[in-house]
Amino acid sequence: MLDPDDIAIILHAIATGFPDRAVNVVAMSDKIDENQRAVLWGALTADPDRSTQARHFGDALRSLGAERHSVNECYRAAFYASDDWKKLSSNPFFAFFSADRSGYPLDKWIHYFPIYERHLARYRGAPVRVLEIGVYRGGGLELLRNFLGPDACLVGIDIDEVARAAARGYEVEIGDQADPEFLQRVSQKHGPFDIVIDDGGHTMRQQTASVEALFPMLKDEGTYLVEDCHTSYWPEYADQGPDGLTFIEWVKARIDDLHAYHYSRSEHLQAPWQTCLDGLHVYDSVVVLTKARRAAPFSELTGTSEFINYPRQTGAIHLEMLATRDAAISRAADLEAETAAVRAQAELETAAIRAQAEAEGERSREELRPLRSELAGVRSDMARVSADLERLREEHEQTCSDLLGSWGIIREMRQSRSWKMTAPIRRLKNTLPPR
Ligand SMILES: C[S@@+](CC[C@H](N)C(=O)[O-])C[C@H]1O[C@@H](n2cnc3c(N)ncnc32)[C@H](O)[C@@H]1O
């Protein structure tokens, strides 16, 4: 098989636009047999596009059983020679990853980034608690910090003490991810967690033991993400999974749990997988389990009075309910029409009454007009009479006071000597007959 140096030369030739050089290396190599040469040559010459050449070359190497690392290099070259990296450049994880020169090494499969964004976006900027299984040198924690923001509480666990020293600024607990008691202690101390990301040892036993211990302690609405699940297909990771299952086989059993309501005869479904597993999202190498307390499922029928696929026991009740509802809707419509008619009639009558009242008011105003002027005449007469009365009262007062003055003069005069001396004359005068 071609060695890594040959493959590097071929990929460089493809990437720089010299496919003939790549074909030459294959044509001249003495490390491959004629069958292998034909397969590799065919892959390099089938398409003029650089990205396609690199991809086909990787496919050919994979089909010939080449090292995974060599195939990885081909697909990497294909990605950067195409527009795919441009499409991914708006992804915040990829943007950080591409620019990262922090000194925290970070090794990721590129296609994980859209999956991260899809499942973690709702936690962005929130004070969530996150557990990363497998810290290494802290690069993954840095990536999460950049995306989730300063309010997220990030905790890591690793079996290697070096991880704690390397991941400066992060809480790192040292222990085995396959040890449920250790995981429980971590969860009690730093949890409950909203997010768990398993990027630890990737063996079947580790992945399964971790999810079985941590998922029940995960917060409601939490997300549990397991990376590198392709190890289920790699013999070197096939350790002591429960019942000899790979992690992906364990995940397949969870698909059955998701549907437990539809086949289980048990009154109480098994927690948490049959009651709190909200969804399973299976991607290439990544499995995401979301948690939520599930309501018992039931189907509903709306929009038609007929069932689509098959008759149901509840069909009659449904039809009756629909008929009742239809009758109620039609009765409501009738009532609405009746109400509208009554309202219109009332408005008509009100308008007529108002018009009549206005007409009568006008007539009354006409009749009042002469009475008003008569009243004004009476009022002015009364004013005149009052003035006369006042004048007469003043005259009367004057007369009285004049009388009083005259009486005083008479009294003084009667007491005078001349009056008394002339008294006999007046008496005599009174005896004389009137002339
Ligand atoms: C792939 S690296 C983690 C990389 C890191 N998440 C990142 O993104 O930079 C795997 C880590 O898991 C740790 N590990 C391996 N087996 C473990 C176990 N049983 N328990 C805890 N950590 C383990 C290793 O020491 C290593 O640091």
Q: Which of 202, 230, 262, 281 is catalytic?
A: 202
Residue ranges around ligand 1 (CB below 6 Å): 106, 132, 134-136, 139-140, 157-160, 163, 176-178, 199-201, 206
Top mutation candidate among 135, 174, 181, 206 for ligand 1, by most atoms within 8 Å of CB = 135
* CATH code at 86-291: 3.40.50.150
Asked if 190 is an active-site residue, the reply is: no
Q: What is the pLDDT of residues 145-154, one digit of tens each?
A: 999 999 999 9
**Between 111 and 368, where is the model more confident?**
111
Lowest mean pLDDT among 66-80, 139-153, 187-201, 312-326: 312-326
Q: What is the pLDDT of residues 156-172, one digit of tens each?
A: 999 999 999 999 899 99
For helices 19-28 and 50-63, the axis angle rounded to 10 degrees is 20
Taking residues 274-292, what's their average pLDDT?
A: 97
Pairwise CA distance, residues 380 & 284, whole Å: 112
What percent of the chain has pLDDT above 90?
A: 67
Domain boundaries, the chain: 4-82, 86-291, 302-435
Taking residues 314-318, what's their average pLDDT?
A: 66
Predicted confidence at residue 420, as pLDDT, reads 77
CA-proximal residue: ligand 1, atom 25 (nearest)? 160
Q: What is the pLDDT of residues 244-273, one digit of tens each?
A: 899 999 999 999 999 999 999 888 999 999
**Between 226 and 365, where is the model more confident?**
226
Overall pTM surpassing 0.75 (yes/no): no
Residue-averaged pLDDT of the chain:
89
